[in-house]
């Protein structure tokens, strides 16, 4: 079996098996939240892990996806599913427009340019209160899936439904990202990650490939934002804020930005950690900051790849 299929199998098994260990229905919600974060983080694996480009503003695209689901049904009369698509189209268009000039930048400069983009989006969302409800947020219409299932005679709790739905979308997203890895585009992205000059001499259109990775990762973030909005039925501009962007990048890098499974692992830890730390609510910030620093210093490849390396090293002995 190829490693790609093994990864997908492990992921699917974990998603299916986890509910058997849930002590209460509350855990379905945490699970769904983990999957929704994992979708955005998978997009960042393509951008950061494959192509080696940083973004500190991807929450902005999540914000576009989320507010599309809040606003389009009311103002345009679209059903929520079409609103998700509208959000991804808007995010992709914006990523394409802005990505063209700013992806020429490197390192910190690219980080700051994307950071600025994300902050501008969140600023518009909190300032245009007559549309977006301002900092207090806005209600989001029901996806309607649960009603549909009930009419078909299948009664399912909201937590279970969102666990299944977000899990399915996450596995789909992981499948696409894993397929991309060995495709010509994925190879080109990894080549330009190693050296842009070398990639260019091999005939790779560096600018175009970077732009593609940026747009694709923006679509992942947008879908993640849409699902978050539809699940919570309420959305605030925080979804597009700087801290959310940082959270996404941290999840990806913490788990291991080079691998889809690793990044999803990172999303799991950082989503579950604050829920476990509610006991130590006061220390939440300090612990989060400390974890970020320590992992970057001692496990620079991320948690999962470092663990795997250690396990493999022991096997070899």
Partner 1 sequence: MADLLQFLMSGLTVGAVYALLALGFTIIFNASGVVNFAQGEFVMLGGMGTAFAIAAGLPVPLAALLAILGTAAVGVALNRLAIAPARGAPVVSLIIITIGAAIFLQGAAGLLFDKQIHRYPGFSGEAPLRLAGATLLPQSLWVMAGAALTFAALWLFFTRTLTGKAVLATANNPLAASLVGINTKAIMALSFGLSAAIGAVAGVLVTPITMTAYNTGVALALSGFAAAMLGGLGNPLGALAGGLLLGVLEALTAGYVSSQYKDAVSFILIILVLALMPQGLLGRKTTDRV
Give residues in contact with partner 1 (CB under 8 A): 48, 54, 56, 98, 101-102, 104-105, 107-109, 111-113, 115-117, 119-120, 123, 127, 197, 242-243, 246, 249-250, 253, 257, 282-293, 296-297, 300
DSSP H helices, the chain, are 3-17, 26-44, 59-75, 80-102, 107-127, 129-132, 145-151, 158-182, 184-194, 196-201, 206-232, 242-255, 260-276, 284-298, 303-316
H or E segment at 138?
strand 138-139
* Minimum CB distance to partner 1 smaller for 11 or for 303: 303
Q: What is the smallest separation between the CB atom of 230 and partner 1, expressed in angstroms?
A: 28
Q: What is the smallest separation between the CB atom of 294 and partner 1, expressed in angstroms?
A: 9
* Minimum CB distance to partner 1 smaller for 224 or for 247: 247
* Minimum CB distance to partner 1 smaller for 30 or for 299: 299
* Minimum CB distance to partner 1 smaller for 111 or for 141: 111
CB 275 within 8 A of CB 268: no
234 strand-pairing partners: 139
CB 231 within 8 A of CB 32: yes
Q: What is the smallest separation between the CB atom of 115 and partner 1, expressed in angstroms?
A: 7
Question: What is the rounded CA–CA span in Å between residue 31 and residue 84?
Answer: 21
* Minimum CB distance to partner 1 smaller for 89 or for 292: 292
Q: What is the smallest separation between the CB atom of 44 and partner 1, expressed in angstroms?
A: 10
311 strand-pairing partners: none
Q: What is the smallest separation between the CB atom of 74 and partner 1, expressed in angstroms?
A: 23
Question: What is the rounded CA–CA span in Å between residue 270 and residue 267?
Answer: 5
Q: Is 97 exposed, middle or buried (0-12, 13-18, 19+ CB in 10 A)?
A: exposed
Q: What is the smallest separation between the CB atom of 23 and partner 1, expressed in angstroms?
A: 29
* Minimum CB distance to partner 1 smaller for 202 or for 293: 293
* Minimum CB distance to partner 1 smaller for 95 or for 119: 119
Structure tokens at 178: 């894993």
Q: What is the smallest separation between the CB atom of 37 and partner 1, expressed in angstroms?
A: 16
Structure tokens at 276: 């476990």
Structure tokens at 279: 């006991």
């Amino acid at each position: 079996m190829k490693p790609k299929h093994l990864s997908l199998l492990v992921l699917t098994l974990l998603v299916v098996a986890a509910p058997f260990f849930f002590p209460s229905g509350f855990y379905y919600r945490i699970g769904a939240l983990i999957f929704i974060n994992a979708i955005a983080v998978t997009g960042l694996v393509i951008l950061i892990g494959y192509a080696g480009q940083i973004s500190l503003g991807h929450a902005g695209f999540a914000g576009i996806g989320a507010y599309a689901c809040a606003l389009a049904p009311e103002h345009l009369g679209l059903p929520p599913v079409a609103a998700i698509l509208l959000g991804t189209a808007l995010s992709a268009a914006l990523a394409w427009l802005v990505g063209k000039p700013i992806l020429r930048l490197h390192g910190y400069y690219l980080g700051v340019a994307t950071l600025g983009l994300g902050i501008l989006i969140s600023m518009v969302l909190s300032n245009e209160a007559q549309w977006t409800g301002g900092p207090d947020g806005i209600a989001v219409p029901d996806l309607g899936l649960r009603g549909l299932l009930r009419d078909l005679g299948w009664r399912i709790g909201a937590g279970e439904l969102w666990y299944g739905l977000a899990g399915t979308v996450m596995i789909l997203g992981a499948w696409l990202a894993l397929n991309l890895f060995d495709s010509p585009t994925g190879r080109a992205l990894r080549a330009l990650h190693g050296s842009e000059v070398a990639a260019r001499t091999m005939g790779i259109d560096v600018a175009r490939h970077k732009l593609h990775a940026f747009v694709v990762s923006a679509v992942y973030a947008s879908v993640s934002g849409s699902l978050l909005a539809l699940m919570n039925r309420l959305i605030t501009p925080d979804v597009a804020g700087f801290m959310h962007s940082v959270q996404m990048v941290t999840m990806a890098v913490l788990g291991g930005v080079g691998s889809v499974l690793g990044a999803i692992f990172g999303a799991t830890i950082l989503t579950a950690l604050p829920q476990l730390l509610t006991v130590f609510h006061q220390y939440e910030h300090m612990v989060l900051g400390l974890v970020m620093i320590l992992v970057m210093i001692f496990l620079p490849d991320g948690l999962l790849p470092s663990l795997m390396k250690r396990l493999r090293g022991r096997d070899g002995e």
